[in-house]
Amino acid sequence: MGKKVSPVKDFLAGGFGGACLVFVGHPLDTIKVRLQTMPRPAPGQKPLYAGTWDCAMQTVRKEGFFGLYKGMAAPLTGVSPMFAICFLGFGIGKKLQQKHPTDDLTYLQYWNAGMLSGVFTTVIMTPGERIKCLLQIQADAHTKKYAGPIDCIKQLYREGGIRSIYRGTCATLLRDVPASGMYFMSYEWLQHVLAPEGASRSDLSVGRTLLAGGMAGVFNWCVAIGPDVLKSRLQTAPEGTYPNGVRDVFRHVMKEEGPRALFRGLTPVMLRAFPANAACFMGYEMAMKFLHWLVPDKS
């Protein structure tokens, strides 16, 4: 039997989980975006970054350790509410498929609920990612166009209105709908299979939650990495570069760089995925426990 959970608790605990994810994961996210969007080297020239380590070292040397935390204000103010909506959407998705609030769900139903949460989060994810990516690729004074997230929103609005702020919506849906299905289904599956004989899914352990949460992040990114490259390219390209959106980016990437380019940034993505999502689910479960203690659910 499952447990009845209030949507308000899902929202609040999800928000706390999101804040934990940003603190742990942002430095590797910066490296990922820089690798994904660095200019192609001219024939015979070396690429700007040789790889993950080189990108991290160059960033720390030129911009100091906090260079890796560049653009974090936007995800902190954006990712926390986004994860709040994400866990709320997942909760709603589960409820929509239950006849009774305590009915157990199949893994396919967890997948469906996860996909619905991916649709919910796009509203906030698309502008959040657009601003974050634009700030993250500002490596030096020459490339610095935006003073910060607010300035970035203002400039985008001035240049192209709401359309510009929401550039990359299809690419974000393409990335997050299947990836969120995978995220929540794999988390629930791992919590079940890792639970010792006789223990139930709700008898949480720290080790199991960290492992299931971390692996859910890894599975999420196995599905998300290709569309993520397309999204980062689209959201950071100068106005008018891709008139047909993500389809144009895909065609351009295939023609110029081949399918390997769809895995650009995979190392920092995977290095970040485990700790960031372990922290996220741990934060979520801890906050949920606290909220249950504070306001017990009526069953």
Ligand X SMILES: CC(=O)O[C@H](CC(=O)[O-])C[N+](C)(C)C
Q: In the complex, which residues of this chain contact ligand X (CB under 6 A)?
A: 21, 86, 121, 175-176, 179-180, 183, 217, 220, 224, 273, 276-277
Name the minimum Å distance from CB 261 to ligand X: 18
233's tokens: 């390219």
Name the minimum Å distance from CB 14 to ligand X: 10
Phi-psi domain of 144 (left: phi exceeds 0; alpha: psi -120 through 50; beta: other): beta
Question: Rounded to whole angstroms, what are the CA distances from 196 to 42, 204, 205, 291?
Answer: 56, 11, 10, 26
Question: Rounded to whole angstroms, what are the CA distances from 245 to 28, 31, 81, 135, 252?
Answer: 27, 24, 27, 21, 11
Q: How far is CA 112 from the centre of its chain?
A: 18
Residue burial 94-107, b: 16+ Cβ < 10 Å; e: rest = beeeeeeeeeebee
Q: Which is nearer to ligand X, 93 or 149 (CB)?
A: 93
Q: Which is nearer to ligand X, 220 or 235 (CB)?
A: 220
Name the minimum Å distance from CB 183 to ligand X: 4
24's tokens: 């742990």
**8 A C-beta contact, residue 215 and residue 186:** yes
**Residue nearest to ligand X as judged by C-beta position:** 180
Q: Which is nearer to ligand X, 152 or 224 (CB)?
A: 224
Name the minimum Å distance from CB 217 to ligand X: 5
Name the minimum Å distance from CB 277 to ligand X: 5
Q: Which is nearer to ligand X, 48 or 270 (CB)?
A: 270
Q: Which is nearer to ligand X, 116 or 273 (CB)?
A: 273
Q: How far is CA 26 from the centre of its chain?
A: 10
Q: Which is nearer to ligand X, 24 or 55 (CB)?
A: 24
Name the minimum Å distance from CB 23 to ligand X: 12
77's tokens: 């103010």
To 10 degrees, the CA torsion angle through 132, 133, 137, 141? -40
